[in-house]
Amino acid sequence: MNGVHWSRRLVLLLALWSAATVFGLAFAAWTAIGPVVLVLTPNHGVHIGDLLALIASYSTAAVLTRRVLVPA
């Protein structure tokens, strides 16, 4: 495989994991679903919904990463 092919895959993977992280953080910033599992400051904490959103987005990113890296 040539360098261009791998650099495109790398850019795709960086974009994929960045999007998964942005989704999880945006979800956490805009919602407050479920009880607080970790208090960070008196006005900020981590909710169960935040953790579920990150788990879902990172799981999706992991599956798509495998599809990008492992040939069919």
Burial readout 24-55 (b: 16 or more C-beta within 10 A, e: otherwise): beebbeeeeeeeeeeeeeeeeeebeebeebbe
DSSP structural state of residue 70: S
Has residue 9 been placed in a domain?
Answer: no
pTM: 0.82
Is residue 37 a part of any domain in this protein?
Answer: yes
Tell me whether residue 10 is in a domain. no
Instruction: Give the whole-angstrom CA distance, residue 28 versus residue 10.
Output: 27
In-domain check, residue 35: yes
Domain assignment present for 41:
yes
Distance CA 59, CA 56 (A): 5
Residue 12 is assigned to a structural domain of this protein: no
In single-letter form, the type of residue at position 51 comes to L
Answer whether residue 1 shows pLDDT above 60. no
Range of the domain at 46: 17-69
Q: What is the pLDDT of residues 32-68, one digit of tens each?
A: 999 999 999 998 899 999 999 999 999 999 999 999 9
Number of structural domains (the chain) is 1
Is residue 1 situated within a structural domain?
no
